[in-house]
Amino acid sequence: MQLPVLDNSRFGGGRGEFQQRRDRPEVSRRRFLRTGLAAGSGLAALAAAASPLSRLAGVDHDVFANFFQKHYKAMSRAEIDSALERIRRDVGRRYGVAATVQDVRPLDGVEFVYALNLSRCNGNRRCVHACVKENNQSRSPEMQYIRVIEMPKGTLDVEQGNHHFDSEAVPDQEHYYLPVQCHQCANPPCVKVCPVEATWQEPDGITVIDYDWCIGCRYCEAACPYWARRFNFSDPVIPSDELNPDMSYLSNRPRSKGVMEKCTFCLHRTRQGRLPACLEACPTGARKFGNVLDPDSEVSQILRTKRIFVLKQEVGTLPRFFYYFDERYPRSGEADTADDSHDKSVKHGGTS
């Protein structure tokens, strides 16, 4: 490549000048000092820029403790036990609570399914808050796995719903209520997209997250069609007196910032045969849970006899969460005919 203006040969004068400048000791000393100061101040600015990192030193973090910990599926029994022990210690140190941290394995011959009777749900949100307590979710910033949506009748378009309904009492007669949480889909898009396999589906159908493996890229949060996954934008805040000490590795042990979490069908309870916290808190009995492989379980019977449907079926996620209505009459206070003055006894053919 030719440079039109400059070429090598004409630098004789320049070299001489430059060489002369370099030979004068006062000049070179001054230059050295200035260069040194500039470099020093630059490095000082660099160090000062990184100064917030000093806040990491004294804080109780598990960042380095679990750096070498393997993926849950790759850990041996002993390694899992030492991880559980570490978690127990951390909980004791941070919250002053003696927790039991277990590794609860799936039961054989069990596949969980959840059914929700939309005729019975009145939107009182007790499930939401029972879940928060049971699963040690952050209170600030707030995290809630379950979202109850107040829906106008006749549509399943969640965009027409209202998440922030707030009235004296529920239910509102013009609406029905749709609680949504992780559906533990049989074809989960979140599992597909995780680059490090930090989330996977277990044999009993529950999609779990290894909180010590997640890198926090939030791809799964973007992928979930039901907005079921939550991210810890900061260290979770849980009051010590509200901590649930009955914990397990894959479900409700305290998480750190920067990792994902979600509903796990309370696997620390359900894998030991108990019902999930949301179901037990529901005052109207709208929630049903059980083993779909057992033909006599209530969920199996619901799937066989009720008119069930799932949300966003067209996305092809094959959810394990089924909704149904089984109301036969309008609820009290609602008119079932256009003309309320009509004599009911005549209509229903009954006598007094």
Partner 1 sequence: MERLDERSVQHMEQPSSSMADVLVAWMIIPVFLALVGWFSLDVDLTDTPDAPTVQVPASLVSTAPLRVIIRGAPTIKAGGFDLRCSECHRLFPSRVDARSTMAQHRHIVLNHGLNDRCLNCHDQSDRNRLRLHDGSTVPFDEAQDLCSNCHGPTFRDWERGMHGRTNGYWNTDLGEQRRLTCTECHNPHSPDIPPMTLLPGPNTLRMGEQGQHDGTGGGGKRNPLRQWNVGGDDLPSREFP
Partner 2 sequence: MIREYLQFLWRSFRVSFVGDWRYHLWMLVLTVIALLGLNAYCRQFVDGLITTGMTDQISWGLYIANFTYLVGVAAAAVMLVIPVYVYRNRELHDLVIFGELLAVAAIIMCLLFVTVDLGRPDRFHHLLLRFNFPISMLTWDVLVLNGYLALNLHICGYLIYCRYRGKHPSRLFYIPFVFIAIVWAVSIHTVTAFLLVGLGGRPFWNQAIIAPRFIASAFAAGPAIIILTLQAIGRFSSYEVARPALMTLRQIVLVALTINMFLLISELFTEFYTDSAHAASARYLFFGLHGHHALVPWIWTAIAFNSIALVLLYLPASRGLKILDLACVLLIIGIWIEKGMGLIVPAFIPSPLGEIVEYAPTVNEVLVCLGIWAFGALIYTIFVRVTIPVLSGRLRADQPIDDILYEFSQPDRAKELARGDLA
Site for partner 2 in 296-335 (CB under 8 A): 312, 315-317
Using CB under 8 A as the binding rule, the residues of this chain from 244 to 303 that contact partner 1 are 270, 272-275, 279-285, 288-291, 297-298, 301-302
Residue 346 near partner 2 by CB under 8 A:
no
Residue 32 near partner 2 by CB under 8 A:
no
Contact 198, 209 (CB under 8 A): yes
Residue 147 near partner 2 by CB under 8 A:
yes
Per CB under 8 A, which region of 93-101, 252-260, 331-339, 342-350 contacts partner 2?
A: 252-260
Using CB under 8 A as the binding rule, the residues of this chain from 203 to 232 that contact partner 2 are 213-219, 221-227, 230-232
Question: CA 151, CA 5: separation in Å to the nearest integer?
Answer: 75
Contact 118, 323 (CB under 8 A): yes
Per CB under 8 A, which region of 1-9, 56-64, 77-85, 330-338 contacts partner 1?
A: 330-338
- When the beta carbons of 66 and 301 are compared against partner 1, the nearer one is 301
CA 220 to chain centre: 9
Among 7, 164, 295, 307, contact with partner 1 (rule: CB under 8 A): 164
Among 239, 295, 314, 346, contact with partner 1 (rule: CB under 8 A): 239
Judged on CB neighbours under 10 Å (0-12, 13-18, 19+), 38 is exposed
Among 97, 126, 225, 293, contact with partner 1 (rule: CB under 8 A): 126
Q: Judged by CB under 8 A, how many residues of this single chain contact partner 1?
A: 96
Question: CA 157, CA 207: separation in Å to the nearest integer?
Answer: 25
Per CB under 8 A, which region of 39-47, 201-209, 284-292, 302-310 contacts partner 2?
A: 39-47
Contact 91, 97 (CB under 8 A): yes
Q: What are phi and psi of 298, to 5 degrees?
A: -65, -35
Question: CA 181, CA 144: separation in Å to the nearest integer?
Answer: 9
Among 203, 326, 336, 342, contact with partner 1 (rule: CB under 8 A): 326
Per CB under 8 A, which region of 7-15, 79-87, 243-251, 334-342 contacts partner 2?
A: 7-15
- When the beta carbons of 233 and 309 are compared against partner 2, the nearer one is 233
Check residue 13 and give left, alpha or beta (phi > 0: left; psi -120 to 50: alpha): alpha
- When the beta carbons of 75 and 182 are compared against partner 1, the nearer one is 182
Using CB under 8 A as the binding rule, the residues of this chain from 104 to 123 that contact partner 2 are none
180 to 199: interface string for partner 2, x by CB under 8 A: x--------x--xxxxxxx-
Q: CB of 229: closest distance to partner 1 in angstroms?
A: 13
- When the beta carbons of 93 and 328 are compared against partner 1, the nearer one is 328
Contact 182, 263 (CB under 8 A): yes
Question: CA 348, CA 333: separation in Å to the nearest integer?
Answer: 18
Per CB under 8 A, which region of 73-81, 95-103, 148-156, 253-261 contacts partner 1?
A: 148-156
Residue 184 near partner 1 by CB under 8 A:
no
Question: Strands, DSSP E only, in 21-165?
Answer: 100-102, 112-117, 147-152
CA-based nearest residue to 121, from 145, 143, 144, 151: 151
AA identity, residue 185: C
Quote the Cα angle for 233-238-243, to 5°.
Answer: 135
**Tokens 């533990």 sit at which residue?**
184
**C-alpha Rg value of the chain to the nearest Å:** 31
Looking only at the bridges linking them, the beta strands covering 230-231 and 260-261 are antiparallel
Looking only at the bridges linking them, the beta strands covering 100-102 and 246-248 are parallel
Residue 242 near partner 1 by CB under 8 A:
yes
Using CB under 8 A as the binding rule, the residues of this chain from 25 to 54 that contact partner 1 are 27, 34, 37-38, 41-42, 44-45, 48-49, 51-52
Q: CB of 213: closest distance to partner 2 in angstroms?
A: 6
